[in-house]
Structure 1
Amino acid sequence: MKLNSIRTIGRSDFVNMGPIRLRQPIPTRTIDNVDPFILLHHYGPYEISEHNNPFDLGPHPHRGFEPITFLVQGEQLHRDSLGNESVVGAGDVQWTTAGRGIIHAEAPTKTFVQKGGVLEGIQLWLNLPADKKMIEANYQHVKNNDFRVVASDDGKVNIQIIAGVLDGVYGRIKTQTAVNAYMIDVEAGGSFDVAVPETHQSIIYLLKGDVTINGSEQLKLNENQLIQFNQDGEGFTIEGNAISKLLFLSGEPFNEPIQTYGPYVMNTQTEIMEAMRDYQMGKMGFLAP
């Protein structure tokens, strides 16, 4: 396998989103976006209790992209203007297609807040191409145990196929565009060759642990670092130096203009203004606080 070379090794500095302090590997000063991935937030781990609950996101709108949550630890309640109400547990994924518009709210469940615990997850914004930005909104929730897994022969690498395909194994999430999303768990001494389509932009983000990429001592990835690969190979190799967890993402770039404002991702400033107007006029639905 011809290995993809490394384009960028990115940092994941803390940013403040209102009362929430979280890591933001995309965008940064060096990585604006990795088309079609617009934003990547790593929130937590937070110690949640009745006296400390910063991650209570009330009703808010989205249009033009897909906000996705990979919940690593804890328990969240999702509600939206389509009428969905879902308890998302550790390892679950919720994949929202905002399309023409949706209003949703997320917060730790009341039960989780009362008993206390650790909340941690990844929030990803996946862009939609121009011809799909105004499609009907949709919501998918897949539980941790329902995902298919590709494992190494020695069982030291387990790759959960969330969306797309790897080695003929398909994810449970139905996608609007050509995209792969895997959650990868690696034990010390485990290794695996991960194939990447040549047409895809691809990244890996290390949530925890210590891994070596492409067998290079110079490519030891530390916690909360992100690697962006070049589109010049067939994949990459991963070796575990400790118990590690990584998120892998790849997708075909759209190469379209991007305009963002708050919760909207469109192609032109005019479309952003239209999104703001439509939300104010109630065209994205309603969700009670």
Structure 2
Amino acid sequence: MSFFPGKDPEFGDAASCDVVEQLIVPRTSDIGGFEVRRALPTIKRRLVGPFIFFDRMGPARLESGNALDVKPHPHIGLSTVTYLTEGEIGHRDTLGNNTVIRPGDVNLMTAGRGIVHSERTPDDLRLRPHQLAGVQTWLALPENDEETEPAFGHTDRKQLPFISEKGVSGRVVIGDFSGLKADVKTFTDTLFVDLVLEAGAAFPFPAQHEERALYILEGELEVAGDRFGAEQLLILRPGDNATLVGGLPAGCRVMLFGGAALDKPRHIWWNFVSSSKERIEQAKEDWKQGRFGLVPGDEQEFVPLPGR
């Protein structure tokens, strides 16, 4: 997961329809011509299920010679999820993984007791204009798994279950949805779905998961008669079934997500998540002292600890 220094989003008023519990309009940051919208965490909503962090990247056009270069940086106590809708990102980490993620694939990296990774535009894209867009999230780990061994998994889009019905298409990225199950390991009940609705097409979003939300990537979405535009986060009321309808004139693309609520609150500082403030302080010192290790093939640079 990249460290994008986006600001916390502003909290929006609840939508008028009962099924929508909260409406959040993310705060946008411009990072060298690359827009990032941070939807979670907010002051009034820290998590949805295990999702403690939700960034919308782009859409952006990177001109020839411009590139994404997120230097090696550390994580603890979480799993990062990277999902692209346009472009490519090269991932390297301290375990020796060297992978390029493309649209529809999913990278899930479990930091556990500690990992370092970098994310950069692949060399073959740097010399020509290209688009980049997607979502990056963090999943907080259950307390008993916060110090698990670090791990990394890349799942090709062809291996993810595909939703195909009249006016509706998409992928189940993580978890169970609409009778389909993705073979992507998580530590607790987790849902993550990429869904495209044509104008007027309807699809159910049942209340089978304890906490649920959706982020509108493109177009307009109708829920219980109310319409919502792109780049908004809707948090749904627990226990209430919802029907999603593609808005006119062009429908919409949304990311559905959620899962089981965490066992206890989490602390988040920079790239570190933990149920213990002391553990985060230890991680700070470990990064300052160079105890996290190096990323093979990307050893020359790193992101310094904020405030140093």
Asked whether the two chains share a fold, i.e. TM above 0.5, the reply is yes
Provide, for residues 249-272 of structure 1, a one-character-per-residue CA deviation record: whole Å limited to 9, x for no partner: 011011412211111001121111
1:284 and 2:292 matched: yes
Q: Give, in angstroms, the shift of residue 283 of structure 1.
A: 4.2
Q: Give, in angstroms, the shift of residue 195 of structure 1.
A: 2.1
Using the alignment, how far apart are the partners of 2:76 and 2:144 within structure 1?
13
Provide, for residues 133-158 of structure 1, a one-character-per-residue CA deviation record: whole Å limited to 9, x for no partner: 10011111112222111332x2x111
The AA in structure 2 aligned to 1:123 is Q
Using the alignment, how far apart are the partners of 1:190 and 1:257 within structure 2?
38
Partner SS state of residue 271, structure 1: helix
Residues 4 and 236 of structure 1 are in contact (CA less than 8 Å); yes or no, is this contact kept in structure 2?
no
Q: Cα–Cα, structure 1 residues 35 and 168, in superposed 2: closer, same or farther, change >3 Å? A: closer
How many residues of Structure 1 are paired with residues of Structure 2 in the alignment? Answer: 279
Scaled by the length of structure 1, the TM-score of the pair is 0.90
Residues 35 and 59 of structure 2 are in contact (CA less than 8 Å); yes or no, is this contact kept in structure 1?
no
Residues 191 and 239 of structure 1 are in contact (CA less than 8 Å); yes or no, is this contact kept in structure 2?
yes
Using the alignment, how far apart are the partners of 1:64 and 1:19 within structure 2?
31
Using the alignment, how far apart are the partners of 2:203 and 2:193 within structure 1?
13
Structural RMSD (CA): 2.0
Using the alignment, how far apart are the partners of 1:257 and 1:25 within structure 2?
18
Q: Give, in angstroms, the shift of residue 277 of structure 1.
A: 2.7
Q: Which residue of 1 aligns with 2:277?
A: 269
Gaps of 5+ in 1: none
Q: Which residue of 1 aligns with 2:243?
A: 237
Q: Give, in angstroms, the shift of residue 56 of structure 1.
A: 1.1
Partner SS state of residue 135, structure 1: coil
Provide, for residues 61-82 of structure 1, a one-character-per-residue CA deviation record: whole Å limited to 9, x for no partner: 0000111111110011000000
Match of 1:175 among 174, 186, 189: 186
Q: Which segment drifts farther, 240-249 or 143-152?
A: 143-152
Q: Which segment drifts farther, 112-121 or 142-151?
A: 142-151
Q: Give, in angstroms, the shift of residue 192 of structure 1.
A: 0.9
Q: Cα–Cα, structure 1 residues 170 and 35, in superposed 2: closer, same or farther, change >3 Å? A: closer
Residues 196 and 250 of structure 1 are in contact (CA less than 8 Å); yes or no, is this contact kept in structure 2?
no
Q: Which residue of 1 aligns with 2:105?
A: 92
Gaps of 5+ in 2: 1-16, 301-308
1:259 and 2:270 matched: no
Partner SS state of residue 125, structure 2: helix
Q: Cα–Cα, structure 1 residues 25 and 75, in superposed 2: closer, same or farther, change >3 Å? A: same
Q: Cα–Cα, structure 1 residues 120 and 17, in superposed 2: closer, same or farther, change >3 Å? A: same
After TM superposition, the runs of 4+ consecutive aligned structure 1 residues lying more than 6 A away are none
Match of 2:202 among 174, 186, 191: 191
Partner SS state of residue 114, structure 1: coil
Q: Which segment drifts farther, 135-144 or 189-198?
A: 189-198
1:40 and 2:54 matched: yes
Give 1:76-115 correspondences, 5 Å limit: 76-115=89-128
Provide, for residues 179-214 of structure 1, a one-character-per-residue CA deviation record: whole Å limited to 9, x for no partner: 11111011112111122325x111000000111113
Provide, for residues 79-135 of structure 1, a one-character-per-residue CA deviation record: whole Å limited to 9, x for no partner: 000000001112221111111111000011111121221011111011111111100
Using the alignment, how far apart are the partners of 2:134 and 2:268 within structure 1?
23
Residues 4 and 232 of structure 1 are in contact (CA less than 8 Å); yes or no, is this contact kept in structure 2?
no
Aligned sequence identity (%): 27
1:28 and 2:36 matched: no
Give 1:1-12 correspondences, 5 Å limit: 5-12=19-26
Using the alignment, how far apart are the partners of 1:192 and 1:118 within structure 2?
29
Residues 10 and 31 of structure 1 are in contact (CA less than 8 Å); yes or no, is this contact kept in structure 2?
no
Partner SS state of residue 261, structure 2: coil
Residues 4 and 231 of structure 1 are in contact (CA less than 8 Å); yes or no, is this contact kept in structure 2?
no
